């Protein structure tokens, strides 16, 4: 098979950066220098409820206009999307409750605005042999009142479309990357592919999952004394049935799903790689952002405010119903340790927010916020990737919303070999 890719919810191109090992872009043209074999035949990026489209503008600045769509994916005619062998995307974690369509008793209608169903529509129309998706780790246990239902809906839908599924929650910071960011990666393959047929025929699927799988040889885990849990969703006739009646437990952090049967376990990550620290990121960023970082410094009254935000608290509050309760939160490292990978970066990065990174800058002899370039390097994008006319706030938001591209780069060679062998 060829290596044709469609990227949904493309953002500023994280999957493409990872798959094509992009380290820099041409300073004159702004175009990314792609070092991989993947042909991105179509990409879609649309940000609702905003007049400007900074993520899309960044994407076309780095990759050109050809085959790139800035239309609400819900309005895209899925038949018009080019044929492809791999579908990739990082989609929002929302409420995946579903219902039967009133106009078609056999139809399934997702909650309005949930982008998962647009992925399903693409799979139905184009049937790509392979899928690689990324989502937040809470997907495996949401919603709170029906643990695991959302992921079970996804699995059942993929089963009905003819796929087998593997997943893994990966903490990038444990595998030589500069951010302790936990995300769930989902790899699915059509049952008729050689790859899927090989897995279906394996008798000891527990051993396969522990020692190999799609993820667990590249991101190794402890395999001794692993508590495997097995269950089935065969009793549910479709995704609607699961949405209404699923009452099982959350899914564990790595698993295999074949013919309605689930094998999964909670991983203990076992990396042999050296830590890639926040301090190393700061040092690497120095040559890309000038010498003076005074505008990022915090001091005086502002510093006192940050010390309060980062400190431990026990505050009596009153709920809307009049009930009194104690709100508490623990102490955070302040400033952030330079000897570890960074904490998870959020879309609120750089705002006056407890989660914002504050580092001690030895050149300034002051505490400061991280820069836009440092934020990009924490996600393993090329420096100044988002310097495409965005505001500073938008640049931080894009990185808080992105993935650690190094995770995709590590998976790329195996993924390429699987597809080419099929």
Stretch (H or E) spanning 209: helix 205-211
325 and 368 housed in the same domain: yes
Could you tell me if 217 and 323 lie in one domain? no
Pairwise CA distance, residues 190 & 33, whole Å: 32
How much is the pLDDT for 113? 47
pLDDT exceeds 60 at position 42: yes
Q: Is 93 a catalytic residue?
A: yes
Q: Which residues pair with 147 in a beta bridge?
A: none
DSSP-assigned states of every residue in 300-353:
HHHHHHHHHHHS-EEEEEE-TTS-EEEEEE----SSPPSSSPBPPP-TTTTSSS
Once rounded to an integer, what is the mean pLDDT over residues 266-285?
A: 94
pLDDT tens-digit map of 62-78: 999 999 999 999 999 99
Contacts 24+ apart (CB under 8 A), 397-402: 397/347, 397/349, 398/11, 398/12, 398/54, 398/55, 398/58, 399/345, 399/349, 399/372, 399/375, 400/345, 400/346, 400/347, 400/348, 400/349, 400/375, 401/11, 401/347, 402/11, 402/12, 402/14, 402/90
Within a domain: residue 261? yes
Q: Which two tokens stand for residue 290?
A: 């000038």
- Count up the domains in the chain and report the number: 2
- Average pLDDT over the chain reads 92
Backbone angles phi, psi at 86, to 5 degrees: -140, 125
Residues 81 and 207 in one domain: yes
Residues 265 and 200 in one domain: yes
Tell me the pTM: 0.93
Sign of CA dihedral 403, 407, 409, 414: negative
**What CATH number is attached to the domain comprising 71?**
3.40.50.150
226-237, pLDDT tens digit by residue? 999 999 999 998
Residue 380: exposure state from Cβ atoms within 10 A (0-12, 13-18, ≥19): buried
Q: Which pLDDT score is estimated for 105?
A: 40
Residue that the structure tokens 């179509």 belong to: 42
Give a yes or no: residue 396 inside a domain.
no
**Which segment of 94-108, 312-326, 328-342 scores lowest on mean pLDDT?**
94-108
Q: Are 224 and 212 in contact (CB under 8 A)?
A: no
The residue-averaged pLDDT of 36-45 equals 97
pLDDT at 37 over 70: yes
Residue 327, burial from CB neighbour count under 10 angstroms (0-12, 13-18, 19+): exposed
Q: pLDDT per residue over 82-107, tens digit each? A: 999 999 999 876 666 665 554 444 34
* Residues 236-260 pLDDT 10s: 988 889 888 888 788 999 999 999 9
Catalytic residue selected from 93, 282, 378, 408 = 93
Residues 161 and 18 grouped into a single domain: yes
Q: Helix-strand-coil percent breakdown of the chain, rounded to 5?
A: 30, 25, 45
- If pLDDT is split at 50, 70 and 90, which confidence band does 112 have? very low
341 lies in some domain: yes
In a domain, 124, yes or no: yes
Tell me, yes or no, whether 109 and 172 share the same domain.
yes
Check whether residue 308 and residue 182 sit in a common domain: no
Asked whether residue 233 is assigned to any structural domain, the reply reads yes
Q: Do residues 180 and 43 both lie within one domain?
A: yes
The answer as to whether 389 is a domain residue is no
Does residue 206 fall inside a structural domain? yes
Residue 389, pLDDT > 80, answer yes
Q: Where are the beta strands (DSSP E) in 152-203?
A: 163-171, 182-190
Confidence check: pLDDT of 363 > 80: yes
pLDDT at 188: 98
How far is 9 from 114, CA to CA, in rounded Å? Answer: 12
Lowest mean pLDDT among 99-113, 158-172, 322-336: 99-113
Whether 321 and 180 share a structural domain: no
Over residues 157-185, the mean pLDDT reads 97
Give the burial class of 289: count Cβ atoms within 10 A of its Cβ; 0-12 exposed, 13-18 middle, 19 or more buried: middle
* Structural domain boundaries enclosing 332: 278-381
Same domain, 258 and 286: no
* 302 and 209 within one domain: no
- Whether 298 maps to a domain, the answer reads yes
How far is Cα 162 from Cα 282, in angstroms, rounded to an integer? 46
Q: Do 256 and 285 fall within a single domain?
A: no
- Per-residue CA distances from 347 to 8, 47, 336, 375, 416 (Å): 19, 14, 18, 11, 31
Q: What average pLDDT does range 158-171 have in this prediction?
A: 97
CA distances (Å), origin 23, targets 17, 36, 230, 397, 410 = 8, 11, 41, 21, 14
């Amino acid at each position: 098979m060829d290596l044709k890719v469609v990227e949904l919810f493309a953002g500023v191109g994280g999957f493409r950066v990872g798959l094509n090992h992009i380290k820099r872009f041409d300073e004159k043209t702004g175009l990314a220098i792609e070092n991989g074999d993947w042909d991105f035949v179509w990409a879609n990026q649309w940000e609702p409820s905003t007049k400007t489209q900074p993520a899309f503008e960044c994407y076309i600045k780095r990759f050109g206009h050809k085959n790139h769509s800035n239309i609400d994916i819900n309005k895209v005619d899925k038949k018009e999307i080019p044929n492809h062998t791999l579908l990739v995307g990082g989609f929002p974690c929302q409420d995946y409750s579903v219902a039967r369509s009133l106009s078609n008793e056999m139809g399934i209608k997702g909650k309005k605005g949930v982008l998962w169903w647009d992925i399903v529509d693409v799979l139905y129309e184009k049937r790509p042999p392979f899928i690689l998706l990324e989502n937040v780790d809470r997907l495996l246990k949401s919603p709170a009142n029906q643990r695991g239902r959302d992921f079970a809906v996804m699995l059942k839908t993929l089963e009905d479309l003819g796929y087998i599924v593997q997943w893994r929650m990966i903490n990038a910071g444990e595998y030589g990357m500069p951010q302790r960011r936990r995300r769930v990666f989902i790899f699915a393959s059509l049952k008729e592919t050689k790859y899927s047929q090989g897995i279906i025929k394996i008798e000891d699927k527990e051993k396969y999952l522990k020692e190999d799988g799609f993820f667990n040889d590249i991101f190794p885990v402890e395999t001794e004394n692993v508590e495997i849990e097995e269950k089935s969703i065969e009793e549910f006739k479709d995704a609607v049935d699961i949405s209404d009646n699923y009452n099982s437990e959350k899914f564990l952090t790595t698993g295999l799903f074949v013919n309605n049967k689930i094998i999964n376990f909670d991983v203990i990550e076992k990396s042999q790689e050296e830590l890639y620290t926040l301090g190393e990121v700061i040092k690497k960023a120095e040559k890309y952002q000038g010498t003076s970082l005074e505008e990022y410094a915090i001091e005086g009254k502002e510093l006192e405010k940050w010390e309060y935000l980062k400190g431990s608290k026990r505050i009596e509050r009153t709920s809307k119903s009049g009930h009194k309760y104690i709100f508490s939160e623990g102490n955070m490292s302040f400033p952030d340790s330079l000897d570890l990978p960074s904490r998870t970066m959020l879309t609120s990065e750089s705002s006056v927010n407890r989660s914002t990174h504050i580092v001690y800058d030895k050149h300034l002899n002051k505490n400061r916020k991280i820069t836009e370039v440092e934020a990009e390097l924490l996600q393993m994008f090329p420096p100044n990737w988002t310097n495409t006319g965005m505001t500073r706030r938008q640049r931080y938001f894009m990185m808080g919303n992105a993935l650690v591209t190094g995770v995709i780069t590590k998976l790329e060679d195996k993924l390429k070999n699987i597809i080419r062998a099929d």
